[in-house]
Amino acid sequence: MWPSCWVWRGDLMREISVEHLARVEGHGSIEVVLEGDEVKRAFLRIYEGPRFFERILIGRRYYEVPDITARICSICPDPHQVVSSRAIEKAMGVRVDRQVEVLRELQLISDVIHSHALHLFFLALPDFLGYEDAVSMAGKYPETVKLALKVKRAGNAIKETITGRTVHGVVTKPGGYTRVPRSEELERLARQLEESIDGAREAVRVFSSLEMPSFARRSNLYMAVDPGEAYGYSGDYVLVSDGGRYPVERYMELTNETTVGHSSAKHSSYKGRSFMTGALARLLLNRSRLYGEAREAYGKLEGKIDDANPFSNNLAQAIELLYSVERAVDLINSLLDEGLKDELMVEVSPRAGKGIAAVEAPRGLLYHHYRLDDDGRVIFANIVTPTAQNAANIDDHIRTAVGNLRGLGDEELRFKLEMLVRAYDPCISCSVHLVRLRRE
């Protein structure tokens, strides 16, 4: 079982600590202090050290940036590559054609498929079915695990076909791709995706049949990128559930990052409130853009998707998984129908400029912001990740949960808080941030 620590102080105060969160990416803990019935402190502590990627980028040439930023994460490297390429293109006034945009959408979808499949079946589902991990679950649910592995492999296959590797691809650059996949590779990929869709359907079936816990319900504010005509994962505007729509260049007004004492991730707020990004936010803000089986699934399950309950994020991920497999097949077929062009990258002439872009990583909004000098070298970089934006909202949900569950025994309370954090699917390593220190 997971390590924990309890300390009683007198008759009224108790401290609860989940010292290491299991089944999440990165290292974090949950800390709670109760004084009688009052929740004195309850938060997610992220204690990984900043890795200084923004500082590492200073002085680097523009074409090196996507390969460097991909190393921020091995779970979601592709959104970092795509968004850094888009931001640099904005800084240099470069426009790419439709084929590059379609390949980039496929690259973003590859991360959604493999990451959602991993999270839903292997990190979250054991909680709901009462298993410690997916290995122990596989004995009773072998077909579900096989389907899960199949759809996850299909996500990895997109990465390998488009970027040359299943992790940290090497062909994504400002201006396009250094290699375009061949038609026969895309035909093979489309067949693999079509054969894997039963795994996505299984995710929708399983997660729509589960009873979602309601102990963390509280009103939620959401943000997601405006993808345009079809449901998707990139765009030039950000939608907010209060009706706001902002150009991505105003990201600092949307995120309002501040440092906090208990976490190496900055915390975000919008108009003084915490907010949520990720699958649930995307589904609620962009549901009218769904199509195909995913649209039908959403229509049938709409009543089960509670906008005040963070556990609804898992069902939203399942619907997105189904949509993403369908969408990937459609995009590949459109490329094949139109005829693949074995074109070179758009020529990029280095120049000074500023570029800001946003995409959706599996866990939510991801912003990259660069300033370049005349030679195309980075002189400023800022990266705002989804888990950092979600961090304050996670804390708010933990406080709500502790208030509702304070009568539980230690092991049960600890388990439910871990389960709550896992519902967000946090990517803790991505969330750590550079802090500027000034010596007086």
pLDDT in tens, 375-393: 999 999 999 999 999 999 9
- At 416-434, the pLDDT tens digits run 999 999 999 998 877 776 5
How do 38-46 and 172-173 pair as beta strands?
A: unpaired
CA 107/CA 385 separation, integer angstroms? 18
* Residue 297, helix vs strand vs coil: helix
Choice between 22 and 311, residue whose per-residue pLDDT is larger: 311
Kindly report the number of other CB atoms within 10 A of residue 411's CB atom: 12
Q: Is the pLDDT of residue 22 over 50?
A: yes
Q: How many CB atoms lie within 10 A of CB 219?
A: 8
Residue 148 one-letter amino acid? A
Which sign, positive or negative, has the C-alpha torsion 105, 426, 396, 259? negative
Q: What is the pLDDT of residues 67-109, one digit of tens each?
A: 999 998 888 899 999 999 999 999 999 999 999 999 999 999 9
Integer Cα distance of 199 and 150 in angstroms: 7
Nearest to 370 by CA among 384, 380, 359: 380
Provide the whole-model pTM. 0.93
Buried b (16+ CB within 10 A) or exposed e, 285-319: bbbebbeebbbebbeebeeebebebbbbbbbbbbb
Which is more confidently placed, 1 or 337?
337
User: If you ran DSSP here, which 8-state letter would residue 421 be given?
Assistant: H
Q: Would you give the DSSP letter of residue 49?
A: P
Whole-number pLDDT of residue 8: 47
pLDDT of residue 50: 77
* pLDDT at position 193 over 50: yes
Query: Cα–Cα distance between 257 and 369 in angstroms, integer?
Result: 14
Residue 364 has pLDDT above 70, yes or no: yes
Length of the chain in terms of residues written: 440
Long-range contacts made by residues 416-421, C-beta under 8 angstroms, separation at least 24? 416/213, 416/215, 417/18, 417/30, 417/32, 418/2, 418/18, 418/21, 418/22, 418/30, 418/127, 419/127, 419/213, 420/213, 420/215, 420/216, 420/310, 420/311, 421/21, 421/24, 421/28, 421/30, 421/44, 421/394
